[in-house]
Amino acid sequence: MEPRRKHSTALHTCHPCRRAIPYRIYAVIHTCGIIALMYHHVLSLLTANNTLITCLLLLSDIVLAFMWATTTSLRLNPVHRTEYPEKYAAKPEDFPKLDVFICTADPYKEPPMMVVNTALSVMAYEYPSDKISVYVSDDGGSSLTLFALMEAAKFSKHWLPFCKKNNIQDRSPEVYFSSESHSQSEEAENLKLMYEDMKSRVENVVESGKVETASITRNQFRGVFDLWTDKFTSHDHPTIIKVLQHNETDEMMPNLIYVSREKSKVSPHHFKAGALNTLLRVSAVMTNSPIILTLDCDMYSNNPTAPLHALCYLSDPKINFGLGFVQFPQKFQGINKNDIYASELKRPFDINTVGFDGLTGPVHMGTGCFFNRRAFYGPPTSLILPEIEKLGPNRIADMSIKTQDILALAHDVAGCNYERNTNWGSKIGFRYGSLVEDYYTGFMLHCEGWRSVFCSPKKAAFYGDSPKCLTDIIGQQIRWSVGLLEVTFSRYNPITYGLKSLSLLMSLGYCHYAFWPFWSIPLVVYGLLPQLALIHGVSVFPKASDPWFWLYIILFLGGYAQDLSDFLLEGGTYRKWWNDQRMWMVRGLSSFFFGFTEFTLKTLNLSTQGFNVTSKANDDNEQMKRYEQEIFDFGPSSSMFLFLPMTTVAIVNLLAFVWGIYGIFTWGEGPVLELMLASFAVVNCLPIYEAMVLRIDDGKLPTRICFLAGLLTFVLTGSGYFFLK
């Protein structure tokens, strides 16, 4: 994996962020403030008439203090890296082989043409084509996806030479032909017609729901679709592995392999982690490349030199021994100007990641990650061999991938019972036990002694699609919350287990995600308790004349000021930051709240959380129009209960705000902090009030949820009289 370099000049550099020192100074000041706040709570607890209020506020502040500590651990040593891929000098035959894993599961939520564009974009990398093997895992076992990839294989014979000859930068055909700057040459126009023709055939097949014999143009694949019988379902079907393109028969072209692992209703399949482990074994049998790139099906390559950026680290003899993976940030296309749903996820994908990079390295984000294959087989100093020799990471795969023996073994290792009584999912491969297999696997690799690196070139390496509907976003993050709680309440908790292998700061950094759903506790308490107290004329915070009043002000303003500076220094804007902190509240009162509920029901065996694929198909024109106009879309009425807690909190805060304004003129020295908190919440809840009262479109809040939220507000207000007085 080591290149021959032109000079001794480094392939990459690392620079500490300038904000580290002022952040460390502020961390000391804020820590003193938190200690003082806890002291104040203890004094209040000893003298309080209503211990329930004090205990709830103390619990909330303990959670907030802990989460602030986890965030601060990622602010103490942030770094930025730069790569120099132009200095990577190696002959084409000396480049390491690259296996690309693309995962898809549902042809209707993840349209086959999206999968096709992702596959073509990586097949066209500025990299020796015969060194690339693209494996597409179709966990839905769809004939529609296989047909689309067959068409992609044919089109690639024209698309790849065109890209490399003309140095095309947008190597996703959909992106290239949709741009106004694409070439108008005769060759380009002919290619565009070919692409549109392919796209039309694929979309017609998807619309019809089946592949007709007349649609199949390659004779060698006519019998393949006979496998899709009446008994074939997405949850119960045999293994299907088809080599759609082979670099031995198609000279200087990448391999393209379709893989649909065997499924059975009586065998566990471990969701995406199981699909990735199947690809890990199948690829080990067929090509066994030392470098693996994992991609979601909607995350197309935007930078044709991305593998070279990764090789700047993976080929560096100073660090490559313990380097497990190189993580690229997730970037998204089609996000509206001010990102009203915080779809960029700037904190986890940019801000926190540079902090992790200054420690042991970034967490695995599930896509856009170049792995050292060896990392999946035990710690750097202790190789764990798989059950058969041909699955080992160091074996040289020198047999044709189309030979009968190779294909037979590939089918065998993709069987649904193959992993039984093996180390797969526990000590080898992607780890089982959590719906967030990316976070969990990255955590376990770091605990084993592997490091990682964050690579963020100026030209984004990958672009993907983010949900454009609030319901989809909340649903996706409920699944994340359940998966994170599975890690938190397991033996692999980042505190109890992580501290045995990782530094304190790295363990706290992992806690920042593992304890994400706990944000719901302070958000519910601070979203309701002070406001109900304000309505009933009870003060739960110090009054303006009390010196403790200023402690709350300093901690609140200091925390938000630091959060804003993080956002702006990593390329964000004020409006995006405001929307991001608003969505933090929305998530706390929906995703995190219901994630806790779902996890509790699952733990009690009252519910089984499945892996619901987030839809990447945006077919609702009215919904897209509202999104572009930055209008919140609360989705169909079937999902209305997702919004009940936040709507209730919005109404309670509005009542408290109105009552507090009235009280200014009647109470004298009233509950100022309670009124300030209600005012802040009301400003954040403006889209909810608009959806309740002013809108008549399909994205408004359903009347039923407004009624239920009003009823719940009445109950809470009445109950508050007995608990607060």
How many CA atoms are closer than 13 Å to the CA of 343, on its beta-carbon side? 25
CA distance 98 to 371: 10
Q: Are 114 and 344 in contact (CB under 8 A)?
A: no
Residue 154 contacts residue 191 (beta carbons within 8 Å): no
- Residue type present at position 139: D
Closest CA to 326 of 280, 372, 394, 273: 372
- Tell me which residue of 225, 224, 170, 173 sits closest to 199, measured CA to CA: 173
412 known ligand binder: no
Q: Residues 6 or more apart from 377 whose CB is under 8 A from it?
A: 383, 384, 385, 386, 392, 393, 428
385 Cβ contact partners less than 8 Å away, ≥ 6 residues apart:
377, 392
Is 94 an active-site residue?
no
Instruction: Kindly state the helix (H) or strand (E) to which residue 54 belongs, with its residue range.
Output: helix 51-72
438 tagged catalytic: yes
Write down the catalytic residue from 438, 566, 580, 633: 438
Backbone angles phi, psi at 127, to 5 degrees: -160, 150
Q: What ranges make up the beta strands (E) of 234-368?
A: 240-245, 255-260, 291-296, 300-301, 323-327, 332-333
130 is in an annotated binding site: no
139 is in an annotated binding site: yes
User: Coil, helix or strand for 407?
Assistant: helix
Q: What is the DSSP letter of 364?
A: P
Segments in 400-503 forming alpha helices (H): 404-413, 437-447, 470-488, 498-501
Helical ranges in 448-547 per DSSP H: 470-488, 498-501, 504-514, 520-535
109 marked ligand binding residue: yes
How far is CA 719 from each of CA 461, 705, 712, rounded to the nearest angstrom?
Answer: 54, 21, 10
Which residues pair with residue 14 across a beta bridge?
A: 81
- SS (HEC) of 84-141: CHHHCCCCHHHCCCEEEEEEECCCCCCCHHHHHHHHHHHHCCCCCHHHEEEEEEECCC
**What sign does the CA torsion over 301, 304, 306, 307 have?**
positive
d(CA 605, CA 119): 40
- 628 known ligand binder: no
Two structure tokens written together for 196: 């549109």
- Single-letter code of the amino acid located at 8: S
99, 130, 138, 139: the catalytic one is: 139
Known binding site for Mn(2+): residues?
Answer: 272, 296
Residues assigned a catalytic role: 139, 438
Known binding site: residues?
Answer: 109-110, 139, 272, 296
